[in-house]
Structures are given as C-alpha cells and as structure tokens.
Structure 1
Amino acid sequence: MAREAPVDEVAAAWAEGGLVVDVREPDEYAAGHVPGARLMPRHTVPAHCGELPADRTVFLICASGNRSRSAADWMTSRGIDAYSVTGGTLAWARGGRPIASGSSERAA
C-alpha cells in the first residue's frame, strides 16, 4: 500500500526544495501544476523512474490522488522513498498554494 503525505507536509518539503513529480498527462500538467514539479505521466513511470535521484524522497501528485497512489506504490515496491500527495493538485490549489501553468520537460 502506498504511503501518503498530507498537502501541508508536501508544501513544507517543496518550500525547501523537495522533489515533486506530477504523474498526470501533459495537457493536465500544462493547465496547472505545482511550480517546479517534474512531469512523468503515470504510464511512463516504469520506464523513467530511474531518472529520478535515488537519494531523495519523491512526492507524487496527480489530480486527486488515485494515479499518484498507484505510482507511489510501484516506486516503493522498488525501493524508492515515494509518497502520494493526499488530495492531489486539487487539494494543493484549494489550500491557496501557488499553481504554475505551461508545459515542461519530462522528469530527469
């Protein structure tokens, strides 16, 4: 079962340079995402999670938490310190936190 992190905890980690990975599709990401979040659509996680730093906690976020739980579960089973963001980008935005728009490169 994937571990979850509440939005407040993720926001504190993010403010200190924490790694946030958005597992939504590129169009969803472009419409609004956590500033600085890396894009890695859920279906690409198995192929690209090796591109993430192995020594850092990864906070996975999607729209509401379903895809990020699945991705966190997959990563955790492979030894990556991964957490799903409870409530996803919707909870992030509802909390009055900043949202960026536009596209980005894939996670690296």
Structure 2
Amino acid sequence: MPTLLDRSTPNPAGYRDITPKDVAAAIPGARLIDVRDPAELRGELGHVAGVENVPVARLDAAGFRKDEPLVLVCRSGRRSGQVAAGLAAAGFSCVMNMAGGMIAWNEAGLPVSR
C-alpha cells in the first residue's frame, strides 16, 4: 500500500505536492497543519475536519519533528508551499503541500467543516 509520501510529487523547492483527494484518502492517518489565521478556518472555504491550526506566525514554536510526515494546507497552496519550502530547507524530510489548498479541496467536493 503506497504511503501518503509515495503518492506525492517532488517539488524543486525540496518538499512534495499532494492532491486534495490523496490527502482525503489518508485521513485520519495524516498530520494536517493549516497555516491560515483562525478566522480563515471559519470562513467561506472552511477547513478539513481534524486539521491542526498553526498560523504562519506561530510555526517557530510548533515543535514538529523533522522526520514526521506533515501535510501543510492554506487557502490556495501558496502560503503552505512557502512554509513547506522553508521547512524542507531547515532539514524536514517529509513535508508535503496540499496543491491548490482549500480552494482545490472545495472544488473536488470534499467534506468541509466550518
């Protein structure tokens, strides 16, 4: 059975991109980190049930292990991609960015919490 990391695509910035459908298939086994501000999680795009909210401003204090698989989420995939690149540059080895963010999640018709 392929792991979540196996289903992701390498990105030149050192992290991997993964589709919302592959993320949804991995729940609850994936550690999902939404880097948006808390108010955005309650907004029109909502959030993935069970996601951990660690806004970009608080990431330094998050205490992630460098070897644990992390799936980063934001509105469009841009912010989470930047965070993923930064974590990869800092030596994190299993960082994934949900391509297209919550916009793509909603477009795929996947369940949303608000």
TM-score normalised to structure 1 length = 0.81
Question: Are 2:76 and 1:64 equivalent residues in the alignment?
Answer: yes
After superposition, what is the alpha-carbon deviation per residue over 1:4-40, rounded to whole angstroms, capped at 9, x for unaligned?
Answer: 11222212222x4211110001100122100000001
Q: How many residues align?
A: 98
Question: Are 2:34 and 1:26 equivalent residues in the alignment?
Answer: no
Give RMSD over aligned pairs.
Answer: 1.6
Unaligned 5+ segments in structure 2 are: 1-12
Q: Which amino acid aligns with 1:26?
A: P
Structure 1 or 2: larger helix share?
1
Unaligned 5+ segments in structure 1 are: 102-108
Largest Rg, 1 or 2: 2
Match of 1:45 among 47, 59, 62: 59
Q: Which amino acid aligns with 2:81?
A: R
TM-score normalised to structure 2 length = 0.77
CA contact (8 A) 1:3 1:73 kept: no
Structure 2 Cα separation of the partners of residues 94 and 35 of structure 1: 16
